[in-house]
Structure 1
Amino acid sequence: MTASSRVNSRLGLVGGMMLAIAIVAAAVLALSGCAPQAAAGEGADASANASTEPAAELRLGYFANVTHAPALVGLEEGLFADALGDATLTTQVFNAGPAAIEALSAGAIDATYIGPNPSINTFIQSGGQSAHIVAGAATGGAALVVRDGIDSADDLEGTTLATPQLGNTQDVALRSWLAGEGFETDTTGGGDVHITPTDNAQTLTLFQQGGIDGAWLPEPWVSRLLADGGNGAHVLVDEADLWDDGAFPTTVLLVRAEFLAEHPETVEALLEGHVASVAWLDEHADEAPTVINAALEAETGKPLADDVITRALEHVTFSVDPHAETFAALVENGLEAGTQKEGSIDGLFDLRLLNALLEADGGHPVSAGGLGEE
């Protein structure tokens, strides 16, 4: 059975299920005084009239990073297009999570591959109304690369380090790790160690020129700094060493809550393509560097060197499991870093469509860790 036919066979069941959920949820929210506001010109809460028809278009965000390989492969191999059928797929490339969240919150995209911390931030700031994580995508593949002469945390005082964007997953990881080492930082670049959120490509240039002393980055930028950065570039901290079994989420698949409620069939089709992409990466390890590189070249204009992409892929694991069990620690890290507000992440995950697909294919369901539906 093809990907699209498996999706179509479940449309009626999923549509009915999600319509019932949407109606009950709208009623509960209305009674509690927490119902979302109607859009301008609407006379009633939009969620109460949510459609469950397949969407004509799906707008998907992702980054040109190796940690977003499920997105790159899904596009390059046509796996999303096959699963989505008649729905038009449009894409937008981002440098880091906060920018993708801005687009998601503005309704400019419907779903995005993204790091866990921006996902947490938008969920908390919206009171649980903005978006839901519907699958995992990648674990691992992030590290702190520094110049010659920095051999321990003690050598970092007074240095300047880069991250992709303020509040993104690597930015939070760096700030949290520095706090654990006794350093103070702030979100304006002050403190014992100066953190300057910078576009990844610009980070490489600055490192080469000696303008920064290091950076906490995702792959392939870790491997690029090591290969092309000069200045004695070496890894000071591999983030995998900070987590049990080295498993920490780098990329998840986040869907706008309204889109999920209105178009569950389309989200299921997206997940069908996503699951197929992760499986392709597992089954085609020899081909993966070439396919990923073709996608990266299309987005950036230049492919990665063979040694760079080989090293990058050695440090990333692709999985649909979002590792929900790590998210309580990620929340604490964000609070410690000063990049997020306090709040609950209960309900952050909605893994029901993913688990239905996994079980239909004879796989095992993944856990929401008590933080949502599964």
Structure 2
Amino acid sequence: MKKSLLFTMFIAFVLLLAACGGSNDGASSDGSIPEEITIGYFPNINHVAGMVAEEKDLYAQNFPDGTTVNYQYFPDGSSFMTALAAGEIEGGLVGPGPAMNHYTSGSEINVVAGGSTGGTVIMTRADSGIETPEDLAGKTFISPRVGCTHDVQFETQMNEEYNLTSDRTGGEMKHVTGEPATYHSMFVSGKVDAATVPEPWASVIEEEGSGEVLIDTPEVAYGETLPAAVFVTSQNLIDNNPELVQKIVDGHKQATDFIEQNPEESKIIASEKIEEITGQGLSASVIDRAWERINFTYEVDSKVLQEFADSSFELEFLKDKPDLSNLVDASFIESKVADASASN
């Protein structure tokens, strides 16, 4: 109960921050580097690059001396995208679902790098009696948000392989939403039967014994190819201050390289940061299990994003058939990492 209360307080706090604003948009007309820059990310294991960059101060290494780099933490993609549109953050890591949904709704944003792939697990309550996906008919499943990345993965698979749909479109499965950190307690209380779960919360549920894996990451729709997190910034920032965007992406690339070269230290950073933000500590075994389901990469496949967006449209999350041909701008990840000493 204390952990749930802490997470609820965290959500209220970050939403209050988003409402208050206070960051510049970094898009100075002369292309100069602003004195303060704010990067956003979620307390999810798929966003470890943000945690490593913060812990190792990697963004600041690419900026002139005296530049302050702030970090803002988000409970969901909607609040992240709202903050980006308001100029409260210069960019950061978010799920591809919110990025694509806002882009197709007219938001002038770009995906400038990948963050990670994998990490979604479809799980069932331990005593639910569900043995196969077909058994989900008439059951209640939970996802972080309607139409979020994990929801689309789940509903795509259920629709295409098992002819099951949610009650949103008159189907057989009841859909509710909630924060992934609460899924363990939701299973224990019997309030939900199944969940589409991002790591590390899938591994938490496994360790606690409240749920079982029904479909693991490699078999989930888009499980190992879809970016679980992408790095997004505004088109305005790209147009008016491409040098700033390049330096931010350089820091993100350095963080991703650090994760690959120092996995054990990166796990410690992730564990401590998630506990700091959410109030929920994670065991080493949970982190290890979650790590096996995730690939950290700054590369991003625009073709997979388009296929995923098409699935969102077919599931009626999007009103119009999407065209993501200009969503991804890979020019920044194709550039070499800037020499930090030359920027200071």
Correspondence for 2:95: 115
Partner AA of 1:116 in structure 2: P
How high is the TM-score relative to the length of structure 1? 0.77
**274, 277, 284: which one pairs with 1:299?**
277
- CA positional deviation for 1:176: 1.4
Cα-to-partner distance string for 1:2-27 (whole Å, 9 max, x where unaligned): xxxxxxxxxxxxxxxxxxxxxxxxxx
- Structure-2 change in CA distance of 1:156 and 1:307 (3 Å): same
- Structure-2 change in CA distance of 1:203 and 1:243 (3 Å): closer
Does structure 1 conserve the Cα–Cα contact (< 8 Å) formed by 2:122 and 2:214? yes
Does structure 2 conserve the Cα–Cα contact (< 8 Å) formed by 1:97 and 1:169? no
**56, 60, 63: which one pairs with 2:42?**
63
Cα-to-partner distance string for 1:208-243 (whole Å, 9 max, x where unaligned): 21111121021101111111252xx21111243246
C-alpha distance in structure 2 between counterparts of 1:112 and 1:288, whole Å: 18
Q: Does 1:145 align with 2:123?
A: yes
Structure 2, unaligned stretches of length 5 or more? 1-26, 340-344
Runs of 4+ displaced beyond 6 Å: none
RMSD, matched Cα: 2.2
Partner SS state of residue 59, structure 2 = helix
Q: Does 1:241 align with 2:219?
A: yes
Correspondence for 1:162: 142
Correspondence for 2:19: none
Correspondence for 1:278: 256
**84, 90, 103: which one pairs with 1:104?**
84
Partner SS state of residue 287, structure 1 = helix
C-alpha distance in structure 2 between counterparts of 1:207 and 1:103, whole Å: 32
C-alpha distance in structure 1 between counterparts of 2:93 and 2:157, whole Å: 24
C-alpha distance in structure 2 between counterparts of 1:140 and 1:120, whole Å: 18
Once the two structures are superposed, the pairs formed by residues 203-214 of structure 1 within 5 Å of their partners are: 203-214=183-194
**231, 253, 270: which one pairs with 2:231?**
253
Does structure 1 conserve the Cα–Cα contact (< 8 Å) formed by 2:157 and 2:221? no
- CA positional deviation for 1:54: 1.7
Does structure 1 conserve the Cα–Cα contact (< 8 Å) formed by 2:217 and 2:293? no
- In the alignment of these two chains, the number of paired residues is 308
C-alpha distance in structure 1 between counterparts of 2:311 and 2:205, whole Å: 25
Once the two structures are superposed, the pairs formed by residues 72-111 of structure 1 within 5 Å of their partners are: 72-85=51-64, 86-111=66-91
- Largest Rg, 1 or 2: 1
Q: Percent identity?
A: 27
Partner AA of 1:54 in structure 2: I
**301, 309, 312: which one pairs with 1:323?**
301
C-alpha distance in structure 1 between counterparts of 2:31 and 2:142, whole Å: 43
**191, 216, 225: which one pairs with 2:196?**
216
Cα-to-partner distance string for 1:238-258 (whole Å, 9 max, x where unaligned): 243246893221111000111
**99, 122, 132: which one pairs with 2:110?**
132
Q: Larger RCO: Structure 1 or Structure 2 (Cα < 8 Å, ≥ 6 residues apart)?
A: 2
Does structure 1 conserve the Cα–Cα contact (< 8 Å) formed by 2:49 and 2:252? yes
